Structure 1
Amino acid sequence: KNLNLNEKIDDKINTLSGGMKQRVMLAAALINDPKILILDEPTAGLDPIKRIEMCNLISSYAPDTIVIFATHVVSDVEVIAHSFLFLDNGKLILTGSREEVTGKMDGKVKELNISTELYKRLKDSLKVVSVHYEKSDLIVRVVDDEDKLSGKIMIPDIADVYISIFGNRT
Structure 2
Amino acid sequence: MQLAIEHVSKRYRGKNWGLRDVSFTITPGVLGLLGPNGAGKSTLMRILATITKQTEGTVVWDSQDIAIHPEQLRTVLGYLPQDFGIYPHLNAIEFLEYLAAIKGLKANIARQRIDELLQVLNLSEVRKRPLGAFSGGMRQRVGIAQALLNDPKLLIIDEPTVGLDPEERVRFRNLLTDLAGERIVILSTHIVSDVEATATAIAIMDKGTLLTHATPENLLGQVEGKVWECLVPSEKLIQIRERFLVSSTARRSNGVHVRLVADSAPLQEAARVAPTLEDAYLYCIANGRNAAGAAQ
Question: What TM-score bracket applies, with the shorter chain setting the length?
Answer: 0.7 to 0.9
1:137 CA drift (Å)? 4.5
- Picking from 23, 27, 31, the partner of 2:149 is 31
Q: Name segments (4+ residues, structure 1) moved above 4 Å.
A: none
Look up the match of 1:88. 206
Identity %: 37
Deviation at 1:27, TM superposition (A): 0.6
Deviation at residue 127 of structure 1 after TM alignment: 1.4
Given the alignment of the two structures, is residue 44 of structure 1 paired with residue 153 of structure 2, yes or no?
no
- Per-residue CA distance 1:92-113 (angstroms, 9 max, x = gap): 1111111111111122111122
Hey, what does 2:260 align to over in structure 1?
Answer: 142
Within a 5 Å distance, the mapping from 1:1-170 to structure 2 comes to 2-133=120-251, 136-144=254-262, 146-147=263-264, 149-150=266-267, 151-167=270-286
Amino acid at match of 2:235: E
Tell me, which stretches of 5 or more residues in structure 1 are unaligned?
none
Within 2, Cα distance between the matches of 1:124 and 1:17?
41
Give 1 or 2 for the bigger CA radius of gyration: 2
Give the structure-2-normalised TM-score. 0.52
Q: How many residues align?
A: 167
Give 3-state SS (helix, strand or coil) of 1:78's partner. helix
Where relative contact order (Cα < 8 A, 6+ residues apart) is larger, the structure is: 2
Alpha-carbon RMSD across the aligned residues, in angstroms, is: 2.1
Cα deviation digits, residues 71-119 of structure 1 (max 9, x gap): 1110111022111111112321111111111111122111122111111
Aligned 8 A contact 2:233 2:254 in 1 = no
What TM-score do the two structures reach when normalised by structure 1?
0.86
How far is the alpha carbon of 1:62 from its aligned partner? 1.6
Code of the residue aligned with 2:278 in structure 1: it is: A
Kept after mapping to 1: 8 A contact 2:224/2:275: yes
Aligned-partner Cα distance in 2 for 1:141–1:38 = 33
